[in-house]
């Protein structure tokens, strides 16, 4: 029923309200559509700033391949990107980027980790060793590298840095007592070339020759 102050019924009032809301929204959409590019750019910049604030850089310290480093990084940076893109240590490979292949394996405080699944900031205060950190003399390889060469534990070589780092970790864990155990504990490292038998031989030999040293 219409009241004294309003000559419309409730139903009519709600229809008016809906119409006004629709008109307001239409005007807003039109305004965006005809806004000059500079205004749109400014809005985008604002959004970028907000995102940058969110991912604000954090300071961290670590020892990377024997060298102490102090740096600022975005907390969202993965270890594999940190190594490859920020330090050009491209020996660490990115295979799946999803924790499935082991190509990105590095050692943090002597333990093997998948660097694609690890945020670099998590290594604050720790020691990180990538394949480049095993030796700085190409004439004097790490015992695990020597064993891989001797037993031809690689074909295309793409998985090899991850296999070697993982193999060192496997020895350090004490999980290389026989071929079966090596196969089991190295099963997270995929080799598309199928060099597995040679890799197992290499690991068993390296075990006797200090292949667990970092």
196 binds ligand FES (CB under 6 A): no
| Closest separation in Å from C-beta 189 to ligand FES | 9
Q: What is the DSSP code string of 47-100?
A: HHHHHHHHT--EEEEEEETTEEEEEEE-TT-BHHHIIIIIS--TTS--SSSSSS
Interface region with ligand FES, contact rule CB under 6 A, candidates 1-9, 42-50, 57-65, 150-158: 150-158
116 binds ligand FES (CB under 6 A): yes
42 binds ligand FES (CB under 6 A): no
Cβ pair 181, 111 in contact under 8 A: no
Rule CB under 6 A: which of 88-107 touch ligand FES?
Answer: 94-97, 99-104
From candidates 121, 147, 154, 206, binder to ligand FES by CB under 6 A: 154
Question: Which residues, 6+ apart, have CB-to-CB distance to 200 below 8 Å?
Answer: 179, 182, 183, 186
193 binds ligand FES (CB under 6 A): yes
Strand ranges (E), the chain: 58-64, 67-73, 105-108, 111-114, 127-129
Comparison of 77 and 213: residue with beta carbon closer to ligand FES: 77
158 binds ligand FES (CB under 6 A): yes
Q: Which residues bind ligand FES (CB under 6 A)?
A: 94-97, 99-104, 114, 116, 154-160, 191-193, 195
């Amino acid at each position: 029923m219409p009241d004294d102050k309003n000559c419309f019924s409730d139903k009519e009032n709600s229809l008016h309200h809906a119409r006004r809301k629709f008109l307001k929204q239409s005007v807003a959409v039109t305004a965006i559509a005809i806004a000059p590019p500079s205004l749109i750019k400014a809005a985008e910049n604002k959004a970028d700033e907000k995102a940058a604030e969110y991912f604000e850089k954090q300071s961290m310290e670590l020892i990377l391949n024997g060298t102490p480093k102090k740096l600022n990084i975005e907390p969202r940076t993965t270890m594999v990107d940190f190594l490859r893109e920020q330090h050009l240590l491209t020996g660490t490979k990115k295979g799946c980027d999803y924790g499935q292949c082991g190509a990105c394996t590095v050692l943090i405080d002597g333990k093997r980790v998948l660097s694609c699944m690890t945020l670099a900031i998590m290594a604050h205060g720790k020691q990180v060793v990538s394949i480049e950190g095993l030796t700085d003399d190409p004439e004097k390889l790490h015992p695990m590298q020597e064993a891989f060469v001797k037993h031809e534990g690689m074909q295309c070589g793409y998985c090899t840095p991850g296999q070697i780092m993982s193999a060192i970790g496997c020895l350090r864990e004490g999980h290389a007592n026989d071929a079966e155990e090596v196969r089991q504990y190295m099963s997270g490292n995929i080799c598309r070339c199928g060099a597995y038998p040679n890799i197992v031989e290499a690991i068993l030999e390296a075990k006797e020759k200090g292949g667990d040293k970092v």
